[in-house]
Structure 1
Amino acid sequence: MNSVQRLGGQWRPVLMGLLMSAACVTTACADDAVALTTVVQLPEGVEVRGKEVAAYTWDDRQGKNLLVLAEQISEREDDGTQSAFVYAAQYLIDGDRPKRMWMLYDDVQHCEFDAALRFDMAATKVTDLAGDGTTQATVGYTRTCTSDVSPNEFKLIMHVGKAQKYRLRGVDRVGAAWWDEEAGALRGMPLPRDCSVAGQQALVSQYKEQGTELPLPGCYSDEKDFAKAPEAYLTFMRQHWFALMQKQDAEWGQAQTPSQEPTEDEESAP
């Protein structure tokens, strides 16, 4: 039984009952099955801004929930600038009348370089951290306006119900390493394991050539949003952030590493 089901041409059962667990109750995986559903497949009354990229539904103590994600990157204007935005919303499906619980909208306007806002699909998770049937919906995305390959702004945002929102904001791992031809290895500051100011500064002291601007690639700036939040929320968000950055770091490093051409002996081997 899948706990999260991508919406197709019609509504399909998602949960036969509430799953009570202190771990993740429902998880949207980053694979082809969650991308590019069309707006006409959503219930009437659900607003979508931009191009829909994913939609999810799940049950909790409030009833049936719907999460929809959309993105848009514009063509360049006559002045050469470009704009982009991301949109997300959670709805409570109550009969034939969807009720929007929250909406997320972020944009880059009139960027003179390359504008981009994109959801990190691996960041999309729905959890029941207290095991009481109250779920938390988390999304993450990159935001940039740049002319080179460099780390992007990254935001990881958790919504709980209609009014509660908790965020970690920082920098992703794009452009954080490069291939050194002479050394035959990747160079660059490694992924931080501690995003406290002291932890980041300790890492900077070992890699002074990388500069001292904080947050470092792969780190968030602070945890102020969680000052009054349940401890489980911050624990989850820390773990989730670092897991996402580890994934990005591995993918970026692999993309920078030259592919090894087989030697003549390897080509002739049976």
Structure 2
Amino acid sequence: MKILFTLLAVSIIFFSCGKKDEIKNTDNQKKDTTTQTKTETKSNSTGTTEPGESLSEGIKNLVYEPGKIPPSVKYDGKIVAGAKWEDKNGQNLLIVCETEVKSKGDERSKELFAYQYIINGEDSKMLWKVNDFVKDCPLDITLSLIPGSISVTDINKDGIAENTFLYRMACKGDVSPDDMKLIMHEGETKYAIRGQMLLIMGGEKYGGEMNTDPSFNKAPSGFFAYAREQWKKFETEKAGE
């Protein structure tokens, strides 16, 4: 069984998964008219805050309402989750979007986008944009935000919030672990962890790799510890569940 699993897992390396996970772009993006109905929970490093409560001094958790996003906020795909808060930069909006799976013959492609905007009334300014993808996949395709993984924190208590989210991606025809990525921002500064989910199957463990981006070497104290905590919180998947 282990030999068969290994051969199947090796076979997927010939197929294309996107490695580009950030493109900063202030040009207008085509906006999908479908909006998300689920409000993502926002939390700090010690627990969940309610809308209107402060994450720390100068940072306030705001109600994220997907139906009330200003028209000046442009995005690709369909919004699947988001968060809203206020800090020294002003009113912030984070949205994560996914496209539908696009098929061409026997191959499938999908993209994921994330954006942070600074909102001033009906006006908005894009702070950053992330784009990742799985393209030309002839097998089963996966690219999706991990539910509940968006968080807003102020770990270093500087009045500028960090935001973090995780997503999974794969092109495979077996039960090998999906790739997983964690993206964290403070303002325009990006931090990332990339690796594999930890798959538990038949009492055996597969995957579980975690590769830390060098950007964490210069991160403020506590950033990597929190990112690792979030990674461990969402990395495990049990086959058949």
TM value normalised by structure 2: 0.71
Q: Who is 2:168 aligned against?
A: 142
Alignment of 1:131-170 (within 5 A): 131-162=157-188, 164-170=189-195
Does 1 or 2 have the higher relative contact order (CA < 8 Å, sep 6+)?
Answer: 2
Q: Can you list the C-alpha shifts for 1:145-186, whole angstroms capped at 9, x where unaligned?
A: 111121011000101112x1110100012xx2223xxxxxxx
Alignment of 1:63-142 (within 5 A): 63-77=90-104, 79-142=105-168
How far did 1:6 drift?
A: 3.6
Alignment of 1:18-37 (within 5 A): 18-20=54-56
User: What is the number of residues matched between the two proteins?
Assistant: 194
Q: Can you list the C-alpha shifts for 1:62-97, whole angstroms capped at 9, x where unaligned?
A: 1111011111232421x2100011111010002321
Q: Which entry has the higher C-alpha Rg, 1 or 2? A: 1
- Residues 88 and 223 of structure 1: CA distance in aligned 2, closer, same or farther (over 3 Å): closer
Which aligned runs of 4 or more in structure 1 are off by greater than 4 angstroms?
Answer: 24-28
Given that residues 145 and 166 in structure 2 are in contact (C-alpha distance below 8 angstroms), is that contact kept between their aligned partners in structure 1?
yes
Given that residues 181 and 194 in structure 2 are in contact (C-alpha distance below 8 angstroms), is that contact kept between their aligned partners in structure 1?
yes
Secondary structure in 1 matching 2:56: coil
How far did 1:115 drift?
A: 1.9
Q: Can you list the C-alpha shifts for 1:220-251, whole angstroms capped at 9, x where unaligned?
A: 12352211111211111111111222xx34xx
Alpha-carbon separation, structure 2, partners of 1:100 and 1:76 = 30
Q: Can you list the C-alpha shifts for 1:194-228, whole angstroms capped at 9, x where unaligned?
A: xxxxxxxxxxxxxxxxxxxxxx6223123522111
Alpha-carbon separation, structure 1, partners of 2:124 and 2:62 = 22
- Residues 27 and 244 of structure 1: CA distance in aligned 2, closer, same or farther (over 3 Å): farther
Between the aligned residues of both structures, percent identity stands at: 29
Alpha-carbon separation, structure 2, partners of 1:67 and 1:119 = 13
Are residues 1:15 and 2:56 paired? no
Alpha-carbon separation, structure 2, partners of 1:6 and 1:64 = 17
Given that residues 180 and 195 in structure 2 are in contact (C-alpha distance below 8 angstroms), is that contact kept between their aligned partners in structure 1?
yes
More strand per residue? 2
- Letter in structure 1 aligned against 2:82: A
Secondary structure in 1 matching 2:211: coil
Alpha-carbon separation, structure 2, partners of 1:98 and 1:139 = 22
Given that residues 19 and 133 in structure 1 are in contact (C-alpha distance below 8 angstroms), is that contact kept between their aligned partners in structure 2?
no
Alpha-carbon separation, structure 1, partners of 2:180 and 2:71 = 32
Alignment of 1:40-55 (within 5 A): 41-55=68-82
Specify every segment of 5 or more residues in structure 1 that has no aligned partner in the other structure, as ranges.
8-12, 29-33, 180-186, 190-215, 256-270
Alpha-carbon separation, structure 2, partners of 1:151 and 1:75 = 23
Secondary structure in 2 matching 1:227: helix
Given that residues 61 and 84 in structure 2 are in contact (C-alpha distance below 8 angstroms), is that contact kept between their aligned partners in structure 1?
no
Q: Who is 2:5 aligned against?
A: none
More helix per residue? 1
- Residues 14 and 64 of structure 1: CA distance in aligned 2, closer, same or farther (over 3 Å): farther
Are residues 1:239 and 2:229 paired? yes
Q: Who is 1:259 aligned against?
A: none
Are residues 1:171 and 2:161 paired? no
Alpha-carbon separation, structure 1, partners of 2:91 and 2:60 = 14
Alpha-carbon separation, structure 2, partners of 1:41 and 1:81 = 36
How far did 1:129 drift?
A: 0.4
- Letter in structure 2 aligned against 1:20: S
Given that residues 14 and 59 in structure 1 are in contact (C-alpha distance below 8 angstroms), is that contact kept between their aligned partners in structure 2?
no
- Residues 171 and 27 of structure 1: CA distance in aligned 2, closer, same or farther (over 3 Å): farther
Alpha-carbon separation, structure 2, partners of 1:81 and 1:27 = 41
How far did 1:56 drift?
A: 1.9
Alpha-carbon separation, structure 1, partners of 2:230 and 2:190 = 16
- Letter in structure 2 aligned against 1:15: G
Alpha-carbon separation, structure 2, partners of 1:140 and 1:27 = 21
Alpha-carbon separation, structure 2, partners of 1:131 and 1:58 = 15
- Letter in structure 2 aligned against 1:172: M
